A and B are shown apart, each in its own frame.
Chain A
Amino acid sequence: MKLDWSIVWQSRWLLFEGALVTILLTALTMLIAVPGGIVLALMRNSRLKPIALFATGFVELFRNLPLLLLVYWAFYVMPVLTGFGLPPFTTGLVALCLNVSAYNSETFRSGINSIRRGQSEAGLALGMSRLEVFRQIVLPQAWRRVLPILASTWVSLFKDTSLVSVIAVGELAHTAMQIRSQSFRVLEMLTAMAAIYWVLGYPQAKIVDWIHRKYGVRE
């Protein structure tokens, strides 16, 4: 077995770009999926039955599907639904957003429901509107409680972005797999890919632990 690690150094800029796309994809997904999750959570708590039912169906469906399948599904169904082809990046983003919005919705719902009813009632008694009560009383308190779970979701999402590589989104996993098949330096590239994910992911996992310690709800 002869190993040639120079391939990793030669492709450093490609890998760097791939890592940037991975981070961009993670950040964009979270940016969309946090408001998405809040809206879905509010819809589930809605008094209008059809709205609540739709949101429940949406959340349960996208929470209980393998992401890989969702990625393929978006890849084939989106062009038909929209009538034109979308770049892989957008398709991957949509699949990730569907999945993470569903998760975030559950997170926010439990966060919102954990704020005692008396708080909203007090707000209403002062003459605040329901929207004001939600924005100024419930959400700020719920926010603190859901933060640790959102942080965990962030790390899962960061790892899950590797799955959109199957539809040729040029993120880290896809880039590394491409270089692997072009250079035949399989062991070197796969190890480099794992190492880069580790270097990026390990501090994130540690930060999540810290957020849990700082903000975690204790009995």
Chain B
Amino acid sequence: MKVNRYQLFTIIPVAALLILGLVGCQKEEAAQPAGLAPKVMADAIHAVLEADRTVYTKQVITRLVKKEKVIKASEQFEDDKALPLPAQMFRFGSELVAEKDSGFSYSLQSLWPINKQNEPKTDAEKKGLQYIADNPGQNFYTEEELGGTTYYTAVYPDVAVASPCVDCHNDHKDTPKTDFKIGDVMGGVVIRIAM
């Protein structure tokens, strides 16, 4: 098929418009990634973390250590042949997740940390932990850029659900706060999802 000069003048602009249109569509699609919205995913992850943490604290630590008094819970649980503390169980889980490169990470932090490595560090963590302390029962959501990657960052209140939580924190040598009560926000669970 032969294409004359006039037809060429028509085809080129139409093709250019089509290509631009396609690129535009692709851009629009990229702005709305498929799958769960990060907030829904973060909330779901937190629901599981919070449930497991509460079960371990109440059904294992409170029952065996406080009520039945059959075993101790200790930060040095290997040397003391004791149960790991709830915060340690939480951290061990987060470390295993970190090894799997699952696209998200989580940690337990506090404005009053026993281990100074767990105090808020990024601006989002600082704002988020302050927000959940000032607004009991509410979560904090934001986006932040770390090392060239954008993260959806969610901060959830970590509440003292049983007496071992407050006893251990109030009595610890390194605690900066000694008057926690059951029901207090002691810290926050920070979940990060890479965007």
Asked if A and B are interacting partners, one says: no
